[in-house]
Each structure stands twice: as C-alpha cells, then as structure tokens.
Amino acid sequence: DGGITQSPKYLFRKEGQNVTLSCEQNLNHDAMYWYRQDPGQGLRLIYYSQIVNDFQKGDIAEGYSVSREKKESFPLTVTSAQKNPTAFYLCASSPTPGQGLYEQYFGPGTRLTVT
C-alpha cells in the first residue's frame, strides 16, 4: 500500500467515546490527508496538512481533530461530537506542496464501527 500504514484495520467503539486512528508514511511526503468513504458517497475530505505543525479543514471537519507533530504521522481523532462516525477512513499522502495535490497515495484504510 505504497508505504502508508493505517492501524488498526477494524475498530469498534461505543457511542460517546473518542477514538484515534493512526496514519504513518515512510514516503517522505510533505502533504497528508484524511478522507471518509461511505457507500454511495465517494471520498470526502476531512482534514489535510501540507507541512508539519499546520493543517486545514476539509469539507466535513466537524467532529474530527488532527495533529501533525511529525512529518511521518497524521493521526485523526473522531470525537463524540461526530454524529455519524461509522465509516471507512482513508489516509493519503502526496509529494511536496506546489508540485501537486494530485497523485495522492492511499493507505489500506480503517473501518470504524460505533455502536
């Protein structure tokens, strides 16, 4: 999966609990992204980061938080404020900003189920 690791593959949580999804890359990419994929909805951008210690909200950031303390790591926290957190979460990375937000490389995904 292109040097991007997401863990765990499956995650189960009770409603009201925060949960953190891990994403690590060894591609030396500057930019990293979090998407959510729901059946029939396609990929929706949650957050992205183009450089360490900086990140921007995507289209559906409400109820999520991120940090980017290291170039290799971009963890996503799904908070209890997220109304419908059950989904397939995908992390991606791409080369140096300014050289394209295209050509993103995806991790294997984490399937989160909240009951």
Among 64, 109, 112, 114, binds other proteins (CB under 8 A): 109
CB hemisphere CA count around 91 (13 angstroms): 31
Instruction: Find the shortest distance in angstroms from Cβ 80 to other proteins.
Output: 26
Measured CA to CA, the distance from residue 24 to residue 4 in angstroms comes to 6
Measured CA to CA, the distance from residue 110 to residue 12 in angstroms comes to 10
Give 71: exposed, middle or buried? Use CB within 10 Å, 0-12, 13-18, 19+.
middle
Q: Is residue 43 involved in binding other proteins (CB under 8 A)? A: yes
Q: Is residue 27 involved in binding other proteins (CB under 8 A)? A: no
Measured CA to CA, the distance from residue 48 to residue 33 in angstroms comes to 4
Of 63 and 97, nearer to other proteins (C-beta) is 97
Q: Is residue 90 involved in binding other proteins (CB under 8 A)? A: yes
Q: Is residue 61 involved in binding other proteins (CB under 8 A)? A: no
- Give the interface with other proteins as residue ranges (CB under 8 A): 1-2, 4, 6, 40-43, 45, 48, 58, 88, 90, 92, 97-109, 111
